[in-house]
Amino acid sequence: MSARPAATTAANGPATVDAPLRRMTVPQIAARKGAEPIVALTAYTAPMARIVDAHADVILVGDSLGMVVHGMDSTLGVTLEMMILHGRAVMRGSRRALVVVDMPFGSYEESPQQAFGNAARVIAETGCAAVKLEGGARMADTIRFLTERGIPVMAHIGLTPQSTNIMGGFKTQGRDEASWPAHLADARAVADAGAFSLVIEGVVAPLARQLTEAVPIPTIGIGASAECDGQILVLDDMLGMNARTPKFVKRYAEIGRDIDAAIARYAAEVRSRDFPAEDQLYR
């Protein structure tokens, strides 16, 4: 989806048409390995996507929406229909960033064929450019199956929230150096299978650096090293919308406190009959 070209009139000349705004493409993101860092953020609604779109290269419609938007305890209850609904909203609100939609738990693990059917539905019904799925070497065959059939895949290794029950919670990965070869094998497997980029979540910084050096595709860190090829955060975390945020999140604003103060002021003015005032009335 591109913006409608705007007509402009050159001095002493005929009207010209400005070039339409074009979205970032999968090849453009893949080419950012070792180059300018990739800026990525989550978004779940059209208004927030519109704001993020002016600054980010990639917008991820993450299954974190289950917790951030719907108040769930984890991402495990998120459905394909929920992801499609929010994916459509983000596509409507954005024009420039590459939009990637998470594949929710249970929608791709059974078989490559199941993954293809659901991923094709996500792309067809939202218009997004790519899907993201969790898992390393165990998902390599599925990633290969999708990419060979025209579905770009962003991979995700390290701390994978959909595997929280197996991991025993949200635990930092790689604290034991003996586990590093397995993580490196995961990174190489998804890159070899055709993933165009790789999210590395919740791993110790030295391991994240090794993972970035080990693969030819750009890595996008979240709770990883600044030496990854890009970074992503959950938008609501970095804006201070959630009371508790992970250690790796830098809060760039405290929007939650501002919203609370605004609502408190509104409630007080309604109760005191100071709102609506003359400026808000029709005469």
d(CA 86, CA 195): 23
99 DSSP β-pair partners: 59
Annotation-wise, does 272 bind a ligand?
no
Give the position of tokens 């938008």.
235
d(CA 198, CA 181): 17
Q: Which among 79, 81, 30, 86 has a CA at the least distance from the CA of 61?
A: 86
Give residues with Cβ within 8 angstroms of 19, minimum separation 6: 5
The set of catalytic residues is 201
Annotation-wise, does 73 bind a ligand?
no
Enter the tokens of residue 257.
């406190």
Annotation-wise, does 33 bind a ligand?
no
Annotation-wise, does 236 bind a ligand?
no
Annotation-wise, does 134 bind a ligand?
yes
102 DSSP β-pair partners: 132
Q: What is the 3-state secondary structure (H, E, C) of 151-169?
A: CCEEEEEECCHHHHHHHCC
Residues making up the binding site for 3-methyl-2-oxobutanoate: 63-64, 102, 132
User: Residues forming the annotated binding site for Mg(2+)?
Assistant: 63, 102, 134
Residue ranges at the known binding site: 63-64, 102, 132, 134
